[in-house]
Structure 1
Amino acid sequence: MKFQSTHDERLNARVDNMLEEGLIQELLDFHEAHNKQRIKDGKQPDYTKGVFQTLGFKEFHEYLMLPEEEKNLEGGAKLLKQSIENMKIGTRRYARRQNKMVLGRFLEIPRREVPPIYELDTTDLSKWDQEVTIKAIDIIESSIANTPCKYESLTPKLHEEKSNIDGHSSNYCEVCERLIIGDKEYKIHLSSNRHKKVLKKKIQLAEKELGIA
């Protein structure tokens, strides 16, 4: 698919540009300031919280953990190269998840009120003005004026398994004491680690009160 290959090339170039702008040194400095002492204290790196979730930290972890003298050896150079490739792979995967999320949220959920969604071709940068700028302005102006747009919007593609999902329904989680909007979101919540932890804690508390544990 031409669109996907072009997108991947741009994402790879974006990572290369970040490297040229000093990404490796930033990672080394941050590791020295925030992660090195944590590891010395016997705490494992946690890439599920805060800034550590950012693309780059976990992909470069093994390289960052190398002693300084080993970073400049052949093994260190090889590990650095692999870390860079892992970051590019992670960046492409993240972009795909974003695209999938947009399509799922706006085009695959029935009965959800969303504005018309338009697709603009950004593949050829030399045609940016006619393919993106001019069309985008026309779309916005027609929306503001509440007049028909000369460009066709994307058609919702409803999956059969999602046909019964109500994007506006609300579900109350008795365990977490939270109101979850949307059947899909509620289903995701029930399988989340946060929900499971709260449930486990409440079960343990109940067993303790009953003298079971």
Structure 2
Amino acid sequence: MPRIPPSLPLVAVMGTTGTGKSDLAVDLAVRFNGEVINADAMQMYKGLPIITNQISEAEQRGIPHHMLAAIDHGEPTWTVTYFAREARRIIQEIRSRGKLPIVVGGTHYYINSLLFDDTIVAAAEKEDEDVQLRPQEETIAQFPILDEPTDVMFKKLQEVDPAMAERWHPDDRRKIKRSLEIFLTTGKRASEIYAQQQADRMAAGDTPATWEALMFWVYSKPEVLNERLNTRIDKMEQRGLMGEVRQLAAFLNERSACGEEVDQTRGIWQSIGFKQMEPLLQAEKRGSSQMQLDRARAEGLELMRIATRQYAKSQIKWLRNKTGPELREKDALPYLFVLDSSDVDKFSTDVLQPAADVLQCFLAGEALPQPQSLSSTARDVLAPFMESEKPAKAEIKTFRCDDCHLTLVTEAQWNDHITGRKHQRVVKNKKRKALVPVPDTSKSDSDEVKSEDAANDTK
């Protein structure tokens, strides 16, 4: 396809854990004068290179890595909006040095926040799962309406922020509640906040259009990846996994001694390793036998293998269900290239060189190859997104049928409903009831007595 060189190029390297994303990012940075921005939430924590699987200093090959090993154990995981703000600032700084920004990581909603202009709304939805604006019980105590039925909250949202209410289905409690909570706790409409954030990004010139971002999905076949991940857990133990587990346990003990309660459902405590191996520490404290310790160690490592495989599946699910369809909606699939890293012995020929060739064409404004042409794996992975015709996006608008007490969200659904038999039957029944005479109850008691006397006289 005819192209011009991107004015604000951005490279994003995505994929599951254990596929070689970091190695590809470094290789591209070396070849194309780039710097790397970490987009893995757990790898932001410092002092824990084994548990978080951070790329080593030697593997970085002198390439600057931003937001890697940057925050302390006690800090909460960054929200996607905070990440996006910091990442864009760093991207601007990298470009000011005449270098190429390369974002790499497995926290894919972080990466999406940099790829898509309108992702801030989706980001707020994701943050609803990760962090509350303030403790939930405190928020509800101050704003009881957040605990009311969904229709009550929706009516209030229509009053205070009709633009956001127009986005959501009247029964989508989570999104309605989130939008209303933003207004109540900040005093600003969510729709205005999102619009201002987008305007700020556009004014700053730090958000590239989708076609100025080149994306690499490093993919390994499931059966190969699972075995690789299992082996990696054994290597983590050999490299000193338990030392980092003890380090985290000591941190918890220090906080506990200070009377501080640590929320272990957030932050670094969600990384794979600590909670699986903590029973081994407890067994050691109890003075358990060597046989019991060996059993606890084996069970902990197996739980780590299971959790890691499940995490990889969730990353794939996000790319397939979120990133891929979003790129398709933006007509940006021609900029997503799947690289098969299943064979580690062919990593250079199957991953590094094809990526470098594509990036060279991208930066030069030359025609890009068809993404599915890189390999049979690329064709298979991209097939679900490559339909010949993109379905029209249904307009999000609500239609209310007061006759049937029903809410519909598209004009097509509305037209089908009002011409359907059920609606016609309800309307017909209402008309029939309207034609039935209503008894006259306006007569006075005296009129009723006179009527009875007249009836008696005729007997």
TM-score interval, normalised by the smaller of the two chains: 0.5 to 0.7
Residues 1:77 and 1:25: Cα distance change in structure 2 (over 3 Å): same
Q: Which residue of 1 aligns with 2:242?
A: 24
1:70-105, Cα deviation, whole Å (9 max, x unpaired): 344322211111011101111111122112212233
Matches within 5 A, 1:30-49: 30-31=248-249, 33-36=250-253, 46-49=263-266
Structure 2 residues not aligned, in runs of 5+: 1-219, 373-381, 397-459
Q: Which amino acid aligns with 2:356?
A: I
Residues 1:165 and 1:100: Cα distance change in structure 2 (over 3 Å): farther
Shift of 1:133: 1.8
Counterparts of 2:299 and 2:365 in 1: how far apart (Å)?
52
Counterparts of 1:10 and 1:90 in 2: how far apart (Å)?
14
SS of the residue corresponding to residue 268 of structure 2 reads helix
Matches within 5 A, 1:11-160: 11-31=229-249, 33-36=250-253, 46-68=263-285, 70-109=287-326, 111-112=329-330, 114=332, 116-153=335-372, 154-155=382-383, 157=385
* Structure 1 residue runs of 4 or more that deviate by more than 3 Å after TM superposition: 36-46, 69-72, 112-115, 153-156, 162-166
> TM-score scaled by structure 2?
0.31
Structure 1 residues not aligned, in runs of 5+: 170-213
Residues 1:12 and 1:24: Cα distance change in structure 2 (over 3 Å): same
Q: Which residue of 2 aligns with 1:181?
A: none
Residues 1:19 and 1:111: Cα distance change in structure 2 (over 3 Å): same
Shift of 1:163: 7.6
Counterparts of 1:165 and 1:35 in 2: how far apart (Å)?
50
SS of the residue corresponding to residue 337 of structure 2 reads coil
> TM-score scaled by structure 1?
0.62
Shift of 1:140: 0.7
Residues 1:58 and 1:149: Cα distance change in structure 2 (over 3 Å): same
Larger Rg: 2
Counterparts of 2:392 and 2:258 in 1: how far apart (Å)?
52
Counterparts of 2:248 and 2:348 in 1: how far apart (Å)?
40
**Relative CO higher for 1 or 2, CA cutoff 8 Å, sep ≥ 6?**
2
SS of the residue corresponding to residue 118 of structure 1 reads strand
Counterparts of 1:48 and 1:20 in 2: how far apart (Å)?
27
Shift of 1:114: 3.7
SS of the residue corresponding to residue 287 of structure 2 reads helix
Identical positions, percent: 25
Shift of 1:135: 0.8
Residues 1:107 and 1:128: Cα distance change in structure 2 (over 3 Å): same
RMSD of the alignment, in Å? 3.3
Counterparts of 1:97 and 1:144 in 2: how far apart (Å)?
32
Counterparts of 1:73 and 1:67 in 2: how far apart (Å)?
9
Q: Which of the pair is proportionally richer in strand?
A: 2
Counterparts of 1:62 and 1:126 in 2: how far apart (Å)?
37
Shift of 1:147: 2.4
SS of the residue corresponding to residue 93 of structure 1 reads helix
8 A Cα contact 1:107 1:155, kept in partner:
no
Counterparts of 1:163 and 1:84 in 2: how far apart (Å)?
48
Shift of 1:134: 1.7
